[in-house]
Amino acid sequence: MQNKDFSGKVALITGSSKGIGLEIARELGRRGAMIVLNARGKEQLESAHNKLVMERCEVTSIPADVSSPDECKEMITFAANKWGRLDIIINNAGISMRSNMEDLNAESCQKIVDINLLGCIYPTLYSIPEIKKSRGSIVFISSIAGIISLPTATLYCATKKGLVGLADSLRFELASDKVHTGVVFVGFTENDPDKKVLGPGAVTVPHKRPNHMSRKEVAKEVAKLIKKRKNRVVLTPLGKFVSFATWISPKLVEKTIIAGRKYNLDNRLGIH
């Protein structure tokens, strides 16, 4: 029988109409949490909502763009009013990129920062009073790019590293309120085949990445981080290795990345 260890908790997951966000919602919902789904696209959001209802999860949903402060304020008010509390917020919505910085334009720079950084800041800002009341958790979905800087991912790395500063500072500010903040450094995870990322200019390009972990496994790790109130978790063996190598010898890691770029290693490994 399914362990209902999140019973009585209300969890809002941003960007949860598909991908990792939907799987986190499913995991927490199956374990008894009341789920608030969010995304911009209404059709996909409704489809995700219906899937979770079919799976007997207690769920509601709200379309909102996390890069809009007003929409985030409304989203948090809606989430807190629905079941009278908010225990967990998971800042998951994000977009990826694949372009040298010099080929970006102002519009694409703005988009990445707005969604990946401000899109975590606004939901967090407005949820703090509720999370303080419930002594709950604020979780940030970062990436291995939040540990190691990578070429063709400059702004993605900047935003994902920014989440670490945000979570760590908040932990100090909210320590006396018994609020938990945690960061999940996600590695290469299975993606929808039609997933697109920002490329040169403001156009989107297909996303081809190795698949080192399933979304379900990521969701289980997120649930574990919340349960154990851990500060951080690094996912995938490659992620753990990179984290260790960066700590031991940042210079060697830097040389390896530059050599990899010189010999076009990412294309050879099928990363497009």
Residue 40 binding ligand NAP, by CB under 6 A:
yes
Kindly determine how many residues on this chain lie close enough to bind ligand NAP according to the rule CB under 6 A.
32
Q: Which residues pair with 39 in a beta bridge?
A: 63
The DSSP secondary-structure symbol of 186 reads E
Residue 17 binding ligand NAP, by CB under 6 A:
yes
Residue 20 binding ligand NAP, by CB under 6 A:
yes
**In whole angstroms, how close is the CB of 122 to ligand NAP at the nearest point?**
10
Among residues 99, 88, 119, which one has the least CA distance to residue 202? 99
The footprint of ligand NAP on residues 96-135 (CB under 6 A) is: 96, 115, 119
Nearer to ligand NAP, 97 or 170 (CB): 97
Among residues 140, 122, 115, 118, which one has the least CA distance to residue 222? 140
**In whole angstroms, how close is the CB of 93 to ligand NAP at the nearest point?**
4
Among 61, 99, 143, 236, binds ligand NAP (CB under 6 A): 143
The DSSP secondary-structure symbol of 176 reads G
Q: Which amino acid is at 166?
A: L
Catalytic residues: 156
**In whole angstroms, how close is the CB of 271 to ligand NAP at the nearest point?**
11
Kindly state the tokens that stand for 42: 């209404």
| Per-position b or e across 238-264, b if 16+ CB within 10 A of its CB | ebeebbeebeeeeeebeeeeeeeeeee
Residue 209 binding ligand NAP, by CB under 6 A:
yes
Residue 21 binding ligand NAP, by CB under 6 A:
yes
Kindly state the tokens that stand for 201: 């200019």
Among 46, 58, 77, 188, binds ligand NAP (CB under 6 A): 188
Residue 15 binding ligand NAP, by CB under 6 A:
yes
Distance CA 89, CA 222 (A): 12
Q: What's the angle, vertex CA 29, arms to CA 24 and CA 30, rounded to 5? A: 105
Among 34, 62, 66, 86, binds ligand NAP (CB under 6 A): 66
Which of 51-59, 88-96, 165-173, 223-231 is the region at the interface with ligand NAP (rule: CB under 6 A)? 88-96
Among residues 67, 14, 19, which one has the least CA distance to residue 186? 19
The DSSP secondary-structure symbol of 236 reads S
Nearer to ligand NAP, 86 or 184 (CB): 184
Distance CA 194, CA 187 (A): 19
Among 92, 99, 108, 137, binds ligand NAP (CB under 6 A): 92
Contact residues: ligand NAP, CB under 6 A: 14-21, 38-41, 44, 65-67, 92-96, 115, 119, 141, 143, 186, 188-189, 191-192, 195, 209
